[in-house]
Amino acid sequence: MMQHVFITAGGSGLGLAMAKAFMAGGATVAVTDTDTAALTSASAAHPGLLTYEADASCEDTMRKVYTDLRSRWERLDVVMANAGIAGPTAAVEDVRLEEWRRCLAVNLDGAFLAASLAAPWMKSQNNGVITLTSSTAGLFGYPYRSPYATAKWGIIGLTKTLAMELGPYNIRVNAICPGSVEGDRMDRVIANEAKARGISPGDLRQGYADCASLRRFVTAEDVANMAVFLASPGARNVSGMAMTVDGHTEKVTL
The pLDDT of residue 186: 81
The pLDDT of residue 253: 63
* Strand ranges of the sheet holding 171-178, from the earlier edge strand across to the other edge: 50-53, 28-33, 4-7, 78-81, 128-133, 171-178, 242-245
CATH at residue 128: 3.40.50.720
Q: Which residues face 216 on adjacent strands?
A: none
> Does residue 145 lie within any of the structural domains?
yes
Let me know: does 106 contact 56? Beta carbons within 8 Å: yes
> Does residue 49 lie within any of the structural domains?
yes
The pLDDT of residue 185: 78
Q: What is the pTM of this model?
A: 0.93
The pLDDT of residue 254: 54
> Does residue 52 lie within any of the structural domains?
yes
The span from the CA of 46 to the CA of 156, in Å, is: 31
CA angle 51, 54, 57 (to 5 degrees): 140
Which residues are identified as catalytic? 148
Tally of domains in the chain: 1
> Does residue 80 lie within any of the structural domains?
yes
> Does residue 213 lie within any of the structural domains?
no
> Does residue 188 lie within any of the structural domains?
no
Taking only the tens place, the pLDDT of each residue in 61-81 is: 999 999 999 999 999 999 999
The pLDDT of residue 126: 98
Measured in degrees and rounded to the nearest 5, phi and psi for residue 83 equal -60, 135
> Does residue 37 lie within any of the structural domains?
yes
Taking only the tens place, the pLDDT of each residue in 76-114 is: 999 999 999 999 999 999 999 999 999 999 999 999 999
Instruction: Count CB atoms within 10 A of the CB of residue 184.
Output: 9
The pLDDT of residue 194: 81
Element (H, E) at 167: none
The span from the CA of 241 to the CA of 177, in Å, is: 10
> Does residue 202 lie within any of the structural domains?
no
Look up the domain containing 233 and give its range. 4-181+219-245
Q: Which parts of the chain sit beneath pLDDT 50?
A: none
The span from the CA of 184 to the CA of 207, in Å, is: 18
